[in-house]
Amino acid sequence: MNKEELRKIPSVDALLGTGELVKPAEIFGREAVVRAARTVLEEVREDILAGAGLPGDKADVLRLLANRIAERLESQAEPSLRSCINATGIVIHTGLGRAVLSGEALEAVSDVLRGYSTLAVDPETGRRGDRDSHLAGLICRLCGAEAATVVNNNAAATVLILNTLARGKEVIISRGQLVEIGGSFRMPDVMETSGAILREVGTTNKTHLRDYAAAVNERTGAILRVHHSNYRIVGFAEEPGLEELVELGNARNIPVIDDLGSGALVDLAPYGLENEPLVQKSIQAGASVVCFSGDKLIGGPQSGILVGKADIMAKIKKNPLKRAFRCGKMTIAALEATLKLFLNQDKLNERHPVYRMLSLTPENLMKRARQLERRLKQRLSEGNSVRVQDGGSEVGSGSVPAQTLPTKLVSVKSRRFSADELAKKLRLNRPPVFTRILKDEIVFDLRTIRPGEDAAVEEALIRILNQP
């Protein structure tokens, strides 16, 4: 049987002569088609030796394999990184690219990509300029700092600050702030990478100002406060405020660094959330330098923002690592456009995708949820169930970790597929749809499904669940 089936396998030349591969050869080139053909034929041989067969006559086999080769080439040509639909309810989703950029940010990036740009030239003099000039003034205006700069993420910002101010010196930090962020990236590792020496004080739940004071010596390079970010210590817990640390730092001539993690430029209370530390408050408290992410609650592209005293920032900008961590034109353009949205906070909920999502109420979401439920019930085959239920959305990316926002979920249960199977099929959809699973049901949170994406979610479910 195997020998007969193996004889059905055509040659590469025979496959290249089929009409199905004419267009792929024009698009991808003859060599790419040949490589794909050899790979497919080898897979077919392995399948036959494992007991499989080839259906039909010689013409059927040629057509079948040619189509398989064409599909492989098309699949290889597709970008690995592509847009998707976020139905998880996690507004700032690390795995899905964090914050959704505003229309203004997209337009700004598109503009600088159309040709050359004034990235590092001074139009006034025609000489080389500082790329920080596009952002520094705007950032200082928003948070009240003396100076500012930007790097490619907040971890880089922390490394840069520590390397500049405390390389070979001790940095005092509370044990309760030795956090681990995504990807097993730990504060002690950041400290070691920067060349600074970790000097931890206090206990996990309680650290007093006297602990910091007792640790200060001639080897001290800085005092570091780190926002807890993705966890909370509740109950019997205590830490000195930033103002107290600054007072100690000033008395001992030691710089105080405030790593805010997410960082925020607006009060989150109107959104029904507990406050994340405001950058403005850290500056007002007198921190020497403050760093935070540009792609979390700021809602811009991946970046790390540093603000602080002019003399400290001047030292940081002279560090050779600053060049290694610097941002490109696309990041600068997108971040500038995003930051400008905060200049008019009355319009923030309309123009900024993150704050639009945070501002949605259960009443706002119920109408869309009921409409999607109704359409799915009309179109889904018998045995599949759909219902609307209450749920909770998350801010995400370590921001406000202890709270959720009330939301409305559309829950779907398949008669054929388990929740895991259906979730995978949705992820492999075009466009991919990412969901949550609750009690063996797939749930869609309308908060993070962007306007205009409801129909795509509906069509994906119909296509998957109604297949014969």
Query: Which letter does DSSP use for residue 288 in this model?
Result: S
What is the Cα gyration radius of the chain? 28
User: Dihedral sign, CA of 133, 134, 138, 144?
Assistant: negative
The predicted-structure confidence for 15-34, as pLDDT tens digits, reads as follows 988 888 999 999 999 999 99
Contacts of 208 (CB under 8 A, 6+ apart): 202, 238, 240
Mean of pLDDT values over 318-329: 96
Mean of pLDDT values over 185-209: 89
The predicted-structure confidence for 401-416, as pLDDT tens digits, reads as follows 668 999 999 999 999 9
User: What is the pLDDT at residue 293?
Assistant: 95
User: What is the pLDDT at residue 229?
Assistant: 64
Q: Compute the distance between CA of residue 63 and CA of residue 329 in angstroms, rounded to an integer.
A: 48
Backbone angles phi, psi at 464, to 5 degrees: -75, -45
Residue 355, helix vs strand vs coil:
helix
Q: For the chain, first and last CA: distance in Å? A: 32
User: What is the pLDDT at residue 235?
Assistant: 59
Residue 319 has pLDDT above 80, yes or no: yes
Please state, for a pLDDT cut of 90, what percent of the chain lies above it: 76
User: What is the pLDDT at residue 236?
Assistant: 67
User: What is the pLDDT at residue 48?
Assistant: 85
What's the pLDDT band for 184 if we cut at 50, 70, 90?
low
**Domains annotated on the chain, with CATH:** 2-77 (no CATH), 85-92+358-465 (3.90.1150.180), 103-347 (3.40.640.10)
User: What is the pLDDT at residue 232?
Assistant: 63
Bridge partner list, 386: 412
Task: Give the H/E segment covering residue 407.
Answer: strand 405-413
Q: Compute the distance between CA of residue 306 and CA of residue 322 in angstroms, rounded to an integer.
A: 11
Q: Are 293 and 261 in contact (CB under 8 A)?
A: yes
Residue 149 has pLDDT above 90, yes or no: yes
Q: Are 342 and 142 in contact (CB under 8 A)?
A: yes
Q: Compute the distance between CA of residue 163 and CA of residue 171 in angstroms, rounded to an integer.
A: 11
Cα-to-chain-centroid distance, residue 150: 18
Residue 158 has pLDDT above 60, yes or no: yes
Instruction: Look up residue 65 and give its two tokens.
Output: 């394999």
Mean of pLDDT values over 431-460: 96
Mean of pLDDT values over 44-65: 85
Mean of pLDDT values over 134-146: 97
Instruction: Say which residue, 216 or 57, is predicted with more confidence.
Output: 216
Instruction: Look up residue 165 and give its two tokens.
Output: 């101010």
- Average pLDDT along the chain: 92
The predicted-structure confidence for 91-109, as pLDDT tens digits, reads as follows 999 999 999 999 999 999 9
CB neighbour class for 76 (10 Å; exposed up to 12, middle 13-18, buried from 19):
exposed
The predicted-structure confidence for 241-256, as pLDDT tens digits, reads as follows 999 999 999 999 999 9
User: What is the pLDDT at residue 402?
Assistant: 66
Range name among 128-132, 166-170, 232-236, 304-308 with the lowest pLDDT average: 232-236
Query: Which letter does DSSP use for residue 360 in this model?
Result: -
Residue 339, helix vs strand vs coil:
helix
Q: Are 139 and 263 in contact (CB under 8 A)?
A: no
Instruction: Look up residue 37 and give its two tokens.
Output: 């053909």
User: How many C-beta neighbours within 10 Å does residue 303 have?
Assistant: 25
Q: Are 171 and 198 in contact (CB under 8 A)?
A: yes
Strands (E), 34-115: 85-86
User: What is the pLDDT at residue 3?
Assistant: 78
User: What is the pLDDT at residue 234?
Assistant: 62
Residue 468 has pLDDT above 90, yes or no: no
- Which residue reads 């086999």 in tokens? 61
Please state, for a pLDDT cut of 70, what percent of the chain lies above it: 96
Backbone angles phi, psi at 220, to 5 degrees: -70, 125
User: What is the pLDDT at residue 230?
Assistant: 57
Q: Are 366 and 445 in contact (CB under 8 A)?
A: no
Q: Compute the distance between CA of residue 255 and CA of residue 275 in angstroms, rounded to an integer.
A: 26
